[in-house]
Structure 1
């Protein structure tokens, strides 16, 4: 019977699930969380660069969603509302930790997290190059302001339109587009500056 309930819940739209949540249906809330959990975690992790902190902030995001689900406007996008809450949770966290620069994400022993991944076996050069590029992009993203970083991540990783991002950030769409373009230039410059150092 539980599988049948899960199957039915998975077929419901976000707004139908929210309606069920407001009626006290915990299965509906669980389905909503499962539906959006990995995208929200991915977004927060890329904003922060620290897995345990990203897990905590993802939990905090969904706790805030649960507490304020009755205030959600069903004429709006639940996905956009969820990302707006996630972005605010991240910004609050970064404000509390503002003595850290975005490129100083380290483990407890003071090592750069990227340097702590063990080398099990040699990798083919193409895979190594792709992995290095991914690490370089992660580092470059951490150089951007949190709001600009969120624009890049929502557009590139989560397929938000500029209009949806403007709604999440409560900014004019032209402002979002211009910040996006400037951020791409900054990222390109950062990555180009890294290239000569690696040769």
Structure 2
């Protein structure tokens, strides 16, 4: 068995893709089984096995006569697994940190949401449309004017008045006056 591997390695060193292909056939099952146990992830293990064989093909000239091909391949695969698992750990830590840092929008209490819906329903239709687009839909005043086919000044006044009526209906003091020229 070792003699066959030696002959295949020697032929692969001279550029025989067929010889290397036979080495792959002989050792891929053992390599994949090892990587599956080491990683615990079959899809990743299969990907790493492919990467291992690509790397091995590029390094076949380094393999000396009488070397254990299976051990050599498992060593390459193990290093690739370590790199992949470290990268996965870093990505998970980065994702966890991002999730912790991201502000979770606080949903309004059901009674506040219902009060807001009632207050919106009491606004005149054009005013309600302007408020819905500019305050809830994040439209600029100009975009809302275009969408509603209203003059820009009308949209600005509808948003200002509608906002004031909503705040009053919700018993919220207006702490931040709207700068109409900013939109």
Q: TM-score, normalised by structure 2?
A: 0.46
Structure with greater Cα Rg: 2
Q: TM-score, normalised by structure 1?
A: 0.43
Higher relative contact order (CA 8 A, sep 6+): 1
